[in-house]
Amino acid sequence: MEEKKIDGKVIYDGKIIKVFKDRVLCPNGNESFREIVHHNGGAGVLLINDKEEILLVKQFRYAYKEELYEIPAGKLELNEDPYYAALRELEEETGNQANELEYLGKIYPTCGYSDEVIYLYLARNTKVTKTNFDEDEFIESNFYPLDVVKKMIKDGKIKDAKTICALEYYSLLKG
């Protein structure tokens, strides 16, 4: 059922994304077009403290025109190891430094039109340092009890896919 690229071109080349329009050969022999957003990917970190509280960040997301609750995360630089990006983003956004990260898994957040991959980690052995926001970041971070976070998901207050997936990976890890 594989589609094969016949040819393609870049139709947008931005700072964070690149958009391709590819002509493909479908499994039935017909040709079609695919518009694909290329993104270097990202890394997210689930930090759960000894009191079973989860660290969430709240920030305004322009695309949705609302504040969202999410696990700390950020985009990968070109060819960057997701592990180190996760360490960096956790400290930059929340002022928490992890001595180790446990890999939880990866997700494809928008597989219909993007090649983005988000790598998810569980932070272990953390200590408080200081935040170091990018100049265009405005982020609040707080710990929330696990049962409160689950209710926030159920009630639609948490909509972010990487956050929901990280919690599900964590629940599977705990067995």
Residues assigned a catalytic role: 135
For 93, the enclosing helix (H) or strand (E) is: helix 82-94
**Residue 143: CATH number of its domain:** 3.90.79.10
pLDDT of residue 134: 78
Task: Say whether both 65 and 97 belong to one domain.
Answer: yes
Give phi and psi for 172, each to the nearest 5: -70, -35
User: Domain containing 138: what range?
Assistant: 40-174
Task: Say whether both 87 and 170 belong to one domain.
Answer: yes
What is the DSSP pairing of strand 4-13 with strand 66-70?
unpaired
Task: Say whether both 11 and 45 belong to one domain.
Answer: no
For 151, the 3-state DSSP assignment is: helix
pLDDT tens-place string over residues 90-139? 999 999 999 999 999 999 999 999 999 999 999 988 999 988 877 888 99
Q: Which amino acid is at 153?
A: I
Q: Domain total for the chain?
A: 2
| pTM for the structure as a whole | 0.94
